[in-house]
Amino acid sequence: MMPAFPGSRAPLIRAPVALVAVLAAVLVTLPACGSTSTGGSRPADRGLTGVVRRPPLEVGAVRLPDVSSEGAGSLMAMRARPGGLLVVYFGFTHCPDVCPTTLSDLGRALDRLEPSQRRRVRVAFVTVDPERDSARVMHAYLRHFVQGGHALRTEDPAQLTAAREAFRVTATRITYPGQDPAAYGFEHSAATYVVDAAGRVILEWPFGTRPSDMEADLRALLQRVG
Amino acid sequence: MPCTSRISTRRHLAALAPVLAALVLVAGACGSDSGSGEASGGGEGPIRVTDVWARTSPMEATNGAVYARIRNTSDRPDALVGASVPSSVSARVELHETVMTDAGDGDTTDEGMGGDTHGSGGTDDTMGDGMGGDTHGSGGMRMRPVDRIPVPAGGVRLLKPGDYHIMLIDLAGELKVGDTFPVTLRFERAGTLKVTAEVRR
């Protein structure tokens, strides 16, 4: 279970008066969070923008080939290093709108972290389209948005399906009438997942989460796992 | 506003040609109404297009998207019905809409997708079976081509990520941050408008 998250910003507050004011603001804000989602999840802990699922998804057993230069084809497990975080996104490089938006926003969020924090966050981009996303394309595409990311690609459908199911990711291939069948797309879930060292998804960002919110969540979570 | 004219007066084109020519010259001198030098265009007609931008993409990317803010200053609804870019940018362009289906839907039908286009669906080959109902707040995102993007009378239509956009298909090369390229927009009423898109992160 997620520990409560009190006082994460306390070191910034010197005067007791300020502390009381912050606590009051938090109390007022909490009920406003409401419930925006279906069963099995609830609003994030105080201070987090993303969604916390309870119980958390266990994804640590998932291993996928890392085709980026960082991995050279070795299997990468879906768990962070101790004291760090792993951010995982499923997408495809032919995606013109949703995927580049998310990767770009994630890259901007990561760029705002101090180098000591940035080093504790690994990023994995999993293609749901290994047919068109070669290792070379994957690597170049990811690097364009996120420095030092891991491009994960498997040609084994069962391995990809197992990975998707662990994260509850959907990806349905779509072709468009009257168009080249090779120009297919996907209907796909578009959340971004933050995984801890135990292989648990501790936070999910829906599509459209702002870079500043991702940044704040990463800072808070790094403090929690550090 | 000395630069206001209605493109819909084009039906009297023959008689008005000299006048229009003069107006175009004047309009050109007006320049951008954004005042910031950012990518924009179309300051003279009822349709004002600003904040035109494309997401940066690497050489290896195949597709891209252009976004913009479209304001309709007239009291009649209009619609974006076409767009084009030079072949040095992309081979083709289509108007698209990204829509969110029910969370965790994962099915292969077009239910609830609205019916004003020809484009969505087709031969679906599901990879997402058995995953229903469990993606809370991050349901499936699906892109579909549209024939027209409505721009309400006196209102604004935003082309933005996860929403309406102009899809660039078969990109010719890298889209580098800071680069610009021309985009021609075709509106149902207001006619053709040339704007400049800026590549952003």
Instruction: Please state, in angstroms and rounded to a whole number, the distance separating the CA atoms of residues B45 and B5.
Output: 5
At B64, list the tokens.
């891209």
Q: Which long-range contacts (CB under 8 A, 24 or more apart) does A17-23 make?
A: none
ipTM: 0.78
Instruction: Please state, in angstroms and rounded to a whole number, the distance separating the CA atoms of residues B24 and A222.
Output: 57
Instruction: Please state, in angstroms and rounded to a whole number, the distance separating the CA atoms of residues B194 and B7.
Output: 13
So what's the pLDDT on residue A181?
86
Query: Could you tell me the sign of the dihedral formed by the alpha carbons of B44, B46, B47, B48, in that order?
Result: positive
The tens place of each residue's pLDDT in chain B, 201 residues long, gives 333 334 333 444 444 444 444 443 434 333 333 333 333 444 568 999 999 999 999 999 999 999 999 999 999 999 999 999 999 999 999 999 999 886 544 333 333 333 333 333 333 343 333 333 333 445 689 999 999 999 999 999 999 999 999 999 999 999 999 999 999 999 999 999 999 999 999
Residues of A in contact with B107 (CB under 8 A): 172
Residue-wise pLDDT for A68-124, tens only, equals 876 778 999 999 999 999 999 999 999 999 999 999 999 999 999 999 999 999 999
Residue-wise pLDDT for A140-157, tens only, equals 999 999 999 999 999 999
Greatest CA separation found in chain A? 67
DSSP B158-179: EE-TTSEEEEEEEE-S-B-TT-
* Nearest CB to B124; choose among A108, A170, A173: A173
- Which residue do the tokens 């099915």 mark? B107
Cβ neighbourhood burial of B58 (10 Å; 0-12, 13-18, 19+): buried
pTM, full prediction: 0.74
Mutation for testing the B interface, residue in A36, A146, A187 having most B CBs under 10 Å? A187
* Nearest CB to A98; choose among B62, B118, B162: B162
Answer whether A94 sits within 8 Å of B62, measured CB to CB. Answer: yes
Q: List the strands of the sheet with A192-195, edge to edge.
A: A150-152, A121-127, A85-91, A192-195, A201-205
* Residues A174 and A69: beta-carbon distance below 8 Å: no
Answer whether B103 sits within 8 Å of A38, measured CB to CB. Answer: yes
